[in-house]
Amino acid sequence: MVAVMSISLPRSRSGVLRRSELLADGLSSGEIERLRRAGRILRLRRGRYRDPADGPVTAEAAHALAARAAVGDVAADAVFGHVTAAVLLGLPVWSVPLRRVHIIRARGGGGRIRPALHVHPAPLPAEDVVELGALRLTSPARTVADLARTLPEDRALVIADGALGLAGSSADDGVPRPGATTRSEIAAVLDRQPRSRGRSAAARVVDFADGRSGSPGESLSRLGMRRAGLPAPILQYPVPGTSYRCDFGWPDHGIVGEFDGRGKYGRLVGPDADPETAGRLVWREKRREDRIRATGLIVVRWTWPDIGAPGPHGMVGLLHEALR
């Protein structure tokens, strides 16, 4: 009997190890099961695994792997859609459940929800389908439209902002990013769905969406401002006399706003942080804020917990006080 730890696993470009590939590589069914029990392979779905040596994965990356693992198990006419398409397209999916892989089939009925799979029956014109490598999925515009119809406003806005933001940027080689779309393209999809449930809510999300929101936190902050009746800010406001931009600006009031997300500091925070490097970052941020204040602007800052926090120390309270 070959020791489990000495077994070499085949490489997979997709990150998915199929049982058939492992068997073809000379492993027996018993050895595959022992590899799974020993943690040498991790089960994605029946007959599909991944090698943990490929490194840790985020929830989004795990969902993308689950989608790739489902290829061959779903119907030939199935197209990945909804949050699965959003993940595959690289769109931000803040607080959206990723337990199930979502597919769309162009038929009038037969939708079903299983523990790991959600099948949506819906019209699927050819212009709403794109290919990403070997995968077929809904276009960025159709993906945003479907999610804007079916998700709560805040989650839908994060995705719509992200898709519009990608339309304004390109990869290093100048090629448009896969998830990029425009407001008019999303509106065209909604126009083809005049009687679909949630269409009015989706249209409101798309109308408010703005690609200049640089992160989910900025999108949610902007939504919180609107709900509180605050004046609409200028996004990515260029501070006069400096090379800096602030997330939000109210120049008529002499105020700028900054959302401080933990992701901004990457690995410079947390138990493995380098104190010296973190200290330099904090110093640079302090100098930046001092220079912004030197122009006469009031700087209001908030973090994730502050966005929806009530009272004078929440984002809305801080901005109300500064604007007053």
- Residue 78: phi, psi to the nearest 5? -75, 145
pLDDT at 4: 62
- Residue 11: phi, psi to the nearest 5? -85, 145
Average pLDDT over residues 171-198: 87
More confident position, 19 or 178: 178
Residue 245 in 3-state DSSP? strand
pLDDT at 52: 80
3: confidence class by pLDDT, cuts 50, 70, 90: low
Residue 267 scores a pLDDT above 50: no
Residues β-bridged to residue 245:
238
Tell me the longest C-alpha to C-alpha distance in the chain. 77
Task: Give the burial class of 317: count Cβ atoms within 10 A of its Cβ; 0-12 exposed, 13-18 middle, 19 or more buried.
Answer: middle
Q: How many CB atoms lie within 10 A of CB 46?
A: 9
10: confidence class by pLDDT, cuts 50, 70, 90: confident
Lowest mean pLDDT among 28-37, 48-57, 118-127, 271-280: 271-280
Residue 299 in 3-state DSSP? strand
CA 136 from chain center: how many Å? Answer: 19
Angle between helices 216-227 and 153-167 (to 10 degrees): 130
Angle between helices 199-208 and 183-191 (to 10 degrees): 170
pLDDT at 292: 96
Average pLDDT over residues 59-66: 93
Residue 94 scores a pLDDT above 90: yes
Query: Tens digits of per-residue pLDDT, 212-235?
Result: 999 999 999 999 999 999 999 999
CA 218 – CA 191 distance, rounded (Å): 28
19: confidence class by pLDDT, cuts 50, 70, 90: confident
110: confidence class by pLDDT, cuts 50, 70, 90: confident
Q: How many CB atoms lie within 10 A of CB 95?
A: 11
Residue 268 scores a pLDDT above 50: no
CA 62 – CA 54 distance, rounded (Å): 12
Residue 85 scores a pLDDT above 80: yes
Contact in structure between 159 and 142 (CB atoms under 8 Å): no
The whole-chain average pLDDT of the chain stands at 89
282: confidence class by pLDDT, cuts 50, 70, 90: confident
- From the list 184, 282, 292, 202, the residue with the least C-alpha distance to 248 is 292
pLDDT at 276: 59
Q: Quick one: tokens of 129?
A: 């389908």
Query: Tens digits of per-residue pLDDT, 112-161?
Result: 999 999 999 999 999 999 999 989 999 999 999 999 999 999 999 999 99
Residues β-bridged to residue 249:
234, 256
pLDDT at 190: 97
Residue 300 scores a pLDDT above 60: yes
pLDDT at 195: 87
Q: How many CB atoms lie within 10 A of CB 314?
A: 18
Residue 179 scores a pLDDT above 70: yes
